[in-house]
Structure 1
């Protein structure tokens, strides 16, 4: 790109960097409890284990340790009729499970990655919340990242978030068009 197109590209790039998470309008913390062990912890043994509370920013494990996390909260009444998601980042590779122990989806941390969008951390909770309902999420994690070894795993996020679908769509449209403009020849 040459001339005035460079200015346009720079402005779009700035918009994308400044608004990478503008689609989260309000957030509340999830209560987080966990168990950790040197070896993988079978789902069937979760009820027999002693769970302890952990706060965002705390280290929960060292290389290759395994953990289970329980995230919980009530959706605020003022979020009625709004889209709500959970944002969970265990600082490691993880997997969301249903209450019966079946895997639902993988989660990838932003830890150690430069691209702010390179993570899988958004979990749909309600497309139209009633307000007051309880949210409980069960996540298994391993203290390693997508590329393998890391010294420790730190709980980076555990939040319920009001999700701005309109902004999400705009942001990703802009990102797609930006990539086209940068990588395609004129």
Structure 2
């Protein structure tokens, strides 16, 4: 019996990449990203929100192992989306390389509320 698993997995991944994932969130708008890297231990939300943030490019490496980085995401919801369910889809990154390859995220409002 032939093992066609690699071929089938490749076809499934291509279908996900070309058709399913793009259709899942069809309407998109860009977000402006900025970052502040906390020196040392994590800090209170109020302190982090008051810091100066620098521009950040999506897909860039960020933070050393066990470090804390705060991100600010800003954007405008188009008027034609009024009345629709709107969400920001954010992937903090998983590279699969090394001990620090996993990221976790905690989101707050501009006032620091979860």
How does the TM-score come out when normalised to structure 2? 0.64
How far off its partner does 1:64 sit?
0.8
Counterpart in 1 of 2:30? 29
How far off its partner does 1:53 sit?
1.0
Counterpart in 1 of 2:20? 19
- Specify the SS of the correspondent of 2:63: strand
How far off its partner does 1:33 sit?
1.3
Counterparts in 2 of 1:113-152, with a 5 A limit? Answer: none
How far off its partner does 1:32 sit?
1.1
Counterpart in 1 of 2:41? 39
Q: 1:60 pairs with 35, 59, 62, which one?
A: 62
CA–CA distance in structure 1, aligned partners of residues 50 and 86 of structure 2: 32
Counterpart in 2 of 1:83? 85
CA–CA distance in structure 1, aligned partners of residues 76 and 112 of structure 2: 22
Given that residues 34 and 70 in structure 1 are in contact (C-alpha distance below 8 angstroms), is that contact kept between their aligned partners in structure 2?
A: yes
CA–CA distance in structure 1, aligned partners of residues 50 and 111 of structure 2: 15
Given that residues 49 and 112 in structure 2 are in contact (C-alpha distance below 8 angstroms), is that contact kept between their aligned partners in structure 1?
A: no
CA–CA distance in structure 1, aligned partners of residues 91 and 53 of structure 2: 19
CA–CA distance in structure 2, aligned partners of residues 55 and 67 of structure 1: 14
Counterpart in 1 of 2:107? 96
Bigger proportion of residues as strand: 1
Q: Which of structure 1's runs of 4+ aligned residues deviate more than 6 A?
A: none
- Root mean square deviation, CA, Å: 2.5
CA–CA distance in structure 1, aligned partners of residues 108 and 83 of structure 2: 26
Cα deviation, 1:43-97, whole Å, max 9, x if unaligned, reads: 1212442211101111121111101111111112232333321111222101112
How does the TM-score come out when normalised to structure 1? 0.42
Greater RCO (Cα-Cα under 8 Å, separation 6 or more): 1
Given that residues 32 and 71 in structure 1 are in contact (C-alpha distance below 8 angstroms), is that contact kept between their aligned partners in structure 2?
A: yes
Gaps of 5+ in 2: 1-7, 94-102
Gaps of 5+ in 1: 1-9, 104-186
Number of residue pairs matched? 92
